[in-house]
Amino acid sequence: MLGRGDWEAAQSGSELAYCPWEVRNTNSLGVKDVEHENIHSSLSSLIGTTHVQTQHNQLLVYPATEEEISQILRAASAHGYGVVPQGNGSQSQFGKGFIEKKIQLSLKRMTGIVEHSIPDLTAAVLAGTPLQMMQQVLKQSGQWLPIDPMVSAEATIGGIVAANSSGPKRILYGSLRDYVIGMRIVYPDGSVVKSGGKVVKNVAGYDLCKLFIGSRGTLGILTEITFKLRPLPHYQELVLIPLQTLDEAAKLQRIILASEFIPSSLELLTPQFSVELGQRPSYTLLVGCDEGEAACIYHRERLTELAGADFNLKRGEGADQFWQEYRSYFNSSSQDFLLAKVSVLPMQVLPFLQLLRELFDGSSVLMSCSAGLGTGIIRLTIQDGLNQDGVAPKLKIAREWAEKHQGALILEKAPFVIQKQLSIWGSEPSAFPLMKAIKQKIDPDYLLNSGSFIGGL
């Protein structure tokens, strides 16, 4: 396991610092073989041989209980191994750390809804449960967890919470921080901690839940999360409005955000992304409505008056199908694919898109964006041509612009050729000293997911 000093040395910018574990592994050496066999034997005695595997010289373990997770963490610490928690691995390519000797700890065996209180609209769920599975069970009671993260259907609850993932409907429903009311966590030393509770009006003590949401498995391993839920919308519509210029989008953005509209999504697609989703080669404004049918019709008619243009309409299952296609675009398995998440103030979204257009105008790379005009979150994708010398410098300019305007640009997926020129996280935020102090207090040995978060946390 790399220590703090090793991480700081890796930050020097050498290509080795960005190589994935498989490339740098030295397990072929005799000493390493002995270490590997020792930890393999130790783990097998704890959770059973069938639940300990070796793939590409990496150890994968599949615990079924909190006690087994605690034992694995203690064994890893004793043998000098780091631990990388994961669900189904849908985001394992993001923020790879620099742990030389590591154990991949999968929560695939920890699935299911522990408790669902229909009258209270709450549910406690094991962290390895796929979100899709959870939503299907809740749907039978007319309820749902109102998040729409840009992840694959196999993504687990624990992974989504650890990444604080969200989607276009965040403008109406908020983020996971608004819905997690309790959780159970296994700390790096093996102790089990409980935060929050199973009722919405639980205000006793510190709200540790928000500390772990978005911590990317660097502070503890989430085993169970309790959510407050919402009733399923009775009706939904999605209006797709073609626009020719960013000025038109700016006008509608100001009007909608200052009006009586309550949109469930307000996303602007760039022309390339519009084409990918079967729309005209123009900007496309996605305005969703999750209210009753009468309210949706009123919103649609008002939008028609404001936009003064034709529109495409998706209702019910048609809207669901559109969003599925939308999400799948961000989960490409291609090696020549880049996904960046940009966060800026809502009124800085369109100026940022204008900057991107200036940077990539005339370029042969395929650059697409989906920009949240109400959330300030922009998802930028680039495919084909990532080996060109000019891509990373252009992204660096875009990042500098975002950071100058109190924002950030994070690489969620990027090939090695980009990562060796551009860091994943960008500049350390002003709160970094506090984040570092918390990490060193909870995980002083940097046992969990070391080097995978901002500044090597």
Q: Kindly report, residue by residue over 321-347, the tens digit of the pLDDT.
A: 999 999 988 887 777 889 999 999 999
Looking at the predicted structure, is the pLDDT value of residue 416 above 60? yes
Which pLDDT belongs to residue 301? 86
pLDDT at 90: 60
Adjacent-strand bridge partners of 126: 224
Is residue 8's pLDDT more than 70? no
Average pLDDT taken over every residue of the chain: 86
More confident of the two residues 88 and 453 = 453
Comparing 50-54, 111-115, 247-251, 266-270, the range with the smallest average pLDDT is: 50-54
Q: Assess if residue 320 is contained within a domain.
A: no
Q: In angstroms, how far is the first alpha carbon of the chain from the final one?
A: 13
- Asked whether residue 238 carries a pLDDT value surpassing 70, the answer given is yes
- Which structural domain, as residue segments, surrounds residue 138? 113-231
Q: How many domains does the chain have?
A: 4
Token duo for residue 238: 């999605």
Domain boundary among 169, 200, 231: 231
pLDDT tens-digit series, residues 344-359: 999 999 999 999 999 9
Are 98 and 28 contained in the same domain? Answer: yes
Q: How far apart are CA 303 and CA 19, in angstroms?
A: 50
Looking up residue 127, the CATH number of its domain turns out to be: 3.30.465.10
- Mean pLDDT over residues 259-287, rounded? 93
Helix axes 349-360, 246-257, angle to 10 degrees: 170
Output the CA torsion sign for 156, 162, 166, 172. positive
* Domain-located, residue 182: yes
Res 121: pLDDT: 95
Residues 127 and 227 in one domain: yes
Domain-ending residue, one of 315, 345, 361: 315
- The verdict on 389 and 451 lying in the same domain is no
Mean pLDDT of 44-51: 89
Q: Is the pLDDT of residue 5 over 50?
A: no
Helix (H) or strand (E) holding 22: helix 21-24
Same domain, 444 and 372: no
- Helix H, strand E, coil C: the string for 29-72 is CHHHHHHHHHHHHHHHHHHCHHHEEEECCEEEECCCCHHHHHHH
Domain assignment present for residue 325? The answer is no
Quick one: pLDDT at residue 292?
A: 84
Indicate the pLDDT class of residue 285, thresholds 50, 70 and 90. very high
- The Cα-based distances of 147 to 170, 234, 299 in angstroms read 7, 17, 22
If one compares 120 and 292, the residue with the highest pLDDT of the two is 120
Q: Which residue has the higher pLDDT, 324 or 303?
A: 324
In the predicted structure, residue 4 carries a pLDDT above the cut 50: no
Tell me the per-residue pLDDT of 272-283, one tens digit each, with 9 for 90 and over: 999 999 999 999
pLDDT of residue 215: 92
Question: Where does 308-408 have alpha helices with state H?
Answer: 317-329, 349-360, 391-404
Q: List phi, psi (to 5°) of 253.
A: -60, -50
pLDDT value of residue 97: 54
Give the per-residue pLDDT at 75: 93
Compute the average pLDDT of residues 183-198: 91
Residue 422 lies in a domain: no
Residues 64 and 123 in one domain: no
Q: How many CA atoms lie within 13 A of 179 on its CB side?
A: 26
**Final residue in a domain of this structure, among 208, 231, 254:** 231
Residue 300 — pLDDT band, cuts 50, 70, 90?
confident
Tell me, yes or no, whether 162 lies in a domain.
Answer: yes
Are both 119 and 211 inside the same structural domain?
yes
In sequence order, what DSSP letters do the residues of 350-376 get, joined into one string? HHHHHHHHHHHTT-SSEEEEEEETTT-
Average pLDDT over residues 47-51: 90
Same domain as 303, residue 273: yes
